[in-house]
């Protein structure tokens, strides 16, 4: 296969159930290099579970998760190595409260990649600069606003030079006036060519930054297409209902 067109992330027949309840019922999805896939769907439709299966924070029951050409579900896969290729940004930021912003970003560089302290910190500073927080390296999470914390979390993911970054509702826990700063960083990433999958309700962001919108319901992908087609002319009734409700909310 031509490297240029090889998907960065490919899900095939992904199944996941929790205690007998099927949450993912056979999901197929391929994300091309540099693509931003915007994932929407009602609460409980399996969006978070889908993202978490991509780096095996949840163990899929069946199917394949292929990251950068490697099936990460195969028995010989070195999970801690492939996870560095898959950045993850959480709704609740999940910064380590006992470390400074710099420490948060540098931890995996030092402990996983084995970089020396100076080199790791230089790289961490560069990542913080990318998200506009060069001056906050010495601050602890409790001293930062929610928007700043989430940008540190993004820097923590970026520092490992991932092939793809997964965002699970990155702005849902933020005060409205702080949402913009995080979305701006994500736009920059997109422009820089980063491959991204974003679960979010920020429709305006999806309209101008997403290449593709994927609508999930009941553990399946129901409909997908360009933002204009999914938001403007949804084919499925379920998509129409959901998009209408989302648009009402803001």
Q: Residues 26-65 vs ligand ATP: string with x where CB under 6 A?
A: ---------------x-xxxxxxx----------------
Residues 56, 72 contacting (CB under 8 angstroms):
yes
Nearer to Mg ion, 136 or 215 (CB): 215
End-to-end CA, the chain:
42
The answer to the question of residue 97 lying near another protein (CB under 8 A) is yes
Binding mask 179-218 for another protein (x = CB under 8 A): ----------------------------------------
Binding status of residue 20 toward another protein by CB under 8 A: no
94 binds, among Mg ion, another protein, ligand ATP, none (CB under 5 to 8 A by kind): another protein
Nearer to Mg ion, 48 or 55 (CB): 48
Query: Which residue shows structure tokens 């409260």?
Result: 97
Distance (Å) of CA 54 to CA 89, 126, 148, 176, 187: 13, 27, 26, 29, 22
Q: Which is nearer to ligand ATP, 88 or 101 (CB)?
A: 88
Min dist CB 149 to ligand ATP, Å, is 20
| Positive or negative: CA dihedral 53, 58, 60, 66 | positive
- Give the closest residue to 150 by CA, choosing from 126, 125, 122, 172: 172
User: Pairing relation of β-strands 62-67 and 70-71?
Assistant: antiparallel
The whole-angstrom separation of Cα 214 and Cα 223 is: 6
Q: Could you tell me which of 6, 13, 10 has the C-alpha nearest to residue 33? A: 6
Which of the listed partners (Mg ion, another protein, ligand ATP, none) does 45 bind, with a CB threshold of 5 to 8 Å by partner kind?
A: ligand ATP
48 part of the interface to Mg ion, by CB under 5 A: yes
Residues at the site binding ligand ATP, with contacts judged by CB under 6 A: 18, 23, 41, 43-49
Residues at the site binding Mg ion, with contacts judged by CB under 5 A: 48
């Amino acid at each position: 296969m031509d490297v240029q067109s090889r998907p960065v992330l490919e899900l095939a027949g992904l199944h996941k159930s929790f205690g007998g309840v099927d949450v993912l019922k056979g999901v197929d999805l391929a994300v091309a290099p540099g693509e931003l896939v915007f994932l929407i769907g009602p609460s409980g439709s399996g969006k978070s579970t889908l993202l978490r299966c991509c780096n095996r924070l949840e163990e899929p029951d069946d199917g394949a998760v292929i990251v950068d050409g490697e099936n990460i579900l195969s028995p010989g896969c070195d999970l801690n190595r492939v996870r560095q290729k898959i950045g993850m940004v959480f709704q609740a930021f999940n910064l380590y409260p006992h470390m400074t912003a710099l420490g948060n970003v540098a931890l995996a560089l030092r402990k996983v990649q084995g970089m020396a302290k100076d080199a790791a910190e230089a790289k961490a500073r560069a990542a913080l600069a990318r998200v506009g927080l060069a001056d906050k390296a010495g601050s602890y999470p409790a001293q930062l606003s929610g928007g700043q914390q989430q940008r540190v979390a993004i820097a923590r993911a970026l520092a490992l030079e991932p092939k793809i970054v997964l965002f699970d509702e990155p702005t849902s826990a933020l005060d409205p006036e702080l949402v913009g700063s995080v979305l701006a960083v994500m736009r920059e990433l997109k422009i820089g060519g980063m491959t991204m999958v974003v679960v979010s309700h920020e429709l305006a962001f999806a309209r101008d930054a997403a290449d593709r919108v994927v609508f999930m319901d009941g553990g399946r992908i129901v409909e997908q297409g360009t933002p204009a087609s999914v938001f403007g002319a949804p084919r499925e009734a379920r998509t129409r209902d959901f998009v209408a409700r989302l648009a009402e909310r803001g």
